[in-house]
Amino acid sequence: MTEERIIRETIDKITMPEEVKAVDFSFSEDSTGMPAVWINLHVSDDLHPSEAKVAMFTALKREISKRIFEANADAWPYVRLIAD
């Protein structure tokens, strides 16, 4: 199975909250030269998110990373929020 397929299938198994409008990812090296996958969660711009919203996104980012590790992906996951 290709790395791209591992990442896609792993992400597809996660139920995203309605605040996540889209998800995309790309591969490159991180600052140490190691393989990385940059996972972008596209969300609405919110300059003053509630503590609950921050906690929800923090938990979601951790869950995505955890599942990618469990899938034995070679690339290190970097999960980012992208305000659209």
**For the segment 10-57, what is each residue's pLDDT rounded down to a tens digit?**
999 999 999 999 999 999 999 999 999 999 999 999 989 999 999 999
What gap in Å lies between CA 23 and CA 41, rounded to an integer? Answer: 5
What pLDDT score was predicted for residue 1? 81
Structural contact between residues 8 and 38, judged by C-beta atoms closer than 8 angstroms: no
Structural contact between residues 17 and 56, judged by C-beta atoms closer than 8 angstroms: yes
63: domain CATH number is 3.30.300
State how many domains the chain has: 1
> Residue 71 is part of which domain span?
3-83
